[in-house]
C-alpha cells in the first residue's frame, strides 16, 4: 500500500514538473513571437519612412533648381534612398543590427538632403525677392528704376558676399590609394588606406586659427566608411557620423592638406564611385566624386 502511494506521489510530481515545463515553453515561445512581431512592425515603419522620403524626392523634381551641382547631388541622394529601400525590403525583420544601421542611414540622408533643399530654397528666395523688387521699380520713372536696379544688384552681391565671406571652401581634392606598406596601388584587393590631398582656397575674411575639418567617405553602396556611433559632429539641427576628423591651422591663405582613411582589417574596397564630403564649422565646404576601377 505504501509503495502504491509513493508511486502516485512520484507520478503527480512528474506531471507537475511536465506541466511547468510545458507552461514555461509556451511562455517563452509567446514572448519570442511578440519580439519577432515587434521587429516586423519596426521594419515596416522604417520602410514606410523610406517610402515617404522617396515620395518627397519626386516632389523635389518640381523645384526650380538652377544650380547643376545641387541637382546632381540631389539626384545621387535620391538613388541612394532607392538602393537603401530595396535593401531594407530584402532584409529579414530579425536582422536587428542591419535594420538599426539602415535607420541611422535614413537620418543621415535626411540631414544631407535638408541642407541641399535649404540651399535651393535660399537661391529661389533670393531670386523671388529680386523679381519683386524689379516689379516695384518698373512702376517708377526710368531714372529711379535704373538707380533702384543698381542698388538692388549691389545689395544682392553684398548679401551673398557677407553670407559666404567667412565660409571655407575645398577647391580641389585628389585621391591616392595605398597598400599596407603605404605604397601606391590601384588593385582593390591590395588597398588598405585612402589618401586625400585637398586644397582649401584662400579666404582673408575667415577668422584664422584652429579648424576642425570633418571628412565623410561614402562607398559605392552608399555606406559611410569607418562609421562609428561615437564619431559624430553637429550638422544642421542634429548629429551625423564622420569617417575622420583633422584639425588644421588656417591663416587665411591657401591651405594644402592631406588626410588618411585607414580601412578596418575586415573592410574591403569595392569598385565603383566614391564620394568624399568635407565639413567645417557646420557647413558642407566641398564634395568630390572618385572612381576606383580595378
- What pLDDT sits at residue 84? 73
pLDDT tens track for 39-98: 667 777 767 777 776 777 666 665 666 666 767 776 777 777 777 777 767 777 677 787
- The structural domains of the chain, with segments of one domain joined by +, span 1-165, 170-292
Question: What is the pTM (predicted TM-score) of this model?
Answer: 0.46
Q: Are residues 186 and 294 in contact, defined by beta-carbon separation less than 8 angstroms? A: yes
- What pLDDT sits at residue 80? 77
Q: What is the mean pLDDT of residues 276-286?
A: 94
Q: Is the pLDDT of residue 197 over 90?
A: yes
Q: Is the pLDDT of residue 261 over 80?
A: yes
What DSSP string describes 122-177?
A: HHHHHHHHHHHHHHHHHTS-HHHHHHHHHHHHHHHHHHHHHHHHT---EEEEEEEE
pLDDT tens track for 241-252: 999 999 999 999
- φ, ψ for residue 260 (rounded to 5)? -125, 140
What does DSSP say about strands 244-250 and 170-178: parallel, antiparallel, or unpaired? unpaired
Under CATH, domain 170-292 is a member of which superfamily? Immunoglobulins (2.60.40.10)
Amino acid at each position: 500500500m505504501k509503495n502504491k502511494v509513493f508511486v502516485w506521489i512520484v507520478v503527480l510530481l512528474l506531471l507537475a514538473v511536465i506541466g511547468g515545463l510545458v507552461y514555461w515553453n509556451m511562455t517563452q515561445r509567446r514572448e519570442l513571437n511578440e519580439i519577432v512581431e515587434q521587429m516586423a512592425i519596426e521594419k515596416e515603419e522604417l520602410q514606410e519612412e523610406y517610402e515617404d522620403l522617396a515620395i518627397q524626392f519626386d516632389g523635389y523634381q518640381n523645384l526650380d533648381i538652377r544650380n547643376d551641382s545641387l541637382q546632381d547631388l540631389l539626384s545621387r541622394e535620391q538613388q541612394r534612398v532607392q538602393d537603401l529601400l530595396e535593401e531594407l525590403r530584402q532584409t529579414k525583420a530579425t536582422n536587428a543590427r542591419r535594420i538599426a544601421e539602415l535607420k541611422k542611414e535614413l537620418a543621415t540622408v535626411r540631414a544631407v538632403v535638408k541642407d541641399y533643399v535649404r540651399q535651393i530654397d535660399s537661391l529661389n528666395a533670393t531670386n523671388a525677392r529680386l523679381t519683386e523688387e524689379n516689379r516695384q521699380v518698373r512702376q517708377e520713372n526710368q531714372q529711379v528704376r535704373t538707380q533702384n536696379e543698381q542698388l538692388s544688384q549691389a545689395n544682392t552681391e553684398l548679401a551673398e558676399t557677407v553670407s559666404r565671406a567667412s565660409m571655407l571652401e575645398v577647391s580641389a581634392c585628389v585621391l591616392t590609394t595605398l597598400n599596407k606598406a603605404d605604397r601606391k596601388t590601384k588593385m582593390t584587393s591590395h588597398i588598405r588606406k585612402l589618401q586625400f590631398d585637398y586644397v582649401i582656397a584662400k579666404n582673408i575674411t575667415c577668422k584664422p586659427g584652429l579648424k576642425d575639418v570633418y571628412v565623410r567617405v561614402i562607398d559605392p553602396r552608399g555606406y559611410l566608411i569607418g562609421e562609428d556611433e561615437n564619431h559624430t559632429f553637429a550638422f544642421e539641427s542634429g548629429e551625423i557620423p564622420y569617417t575622420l576628423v583633422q584639425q588644421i591651422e588656417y591663416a587665411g591663405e591657401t591651405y594644402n592638406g592631406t588626410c588618411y582613411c585607414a580601412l578596418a582589417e575586415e573592410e574591403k574596397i569595392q569598385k565603383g564611385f566614391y564620394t568624399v564630403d568635407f565639413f567645417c564649422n557646420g557647413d558642407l565646404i566641398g564634395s568630390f566624386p572618385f572612381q576606383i576601377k580595378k
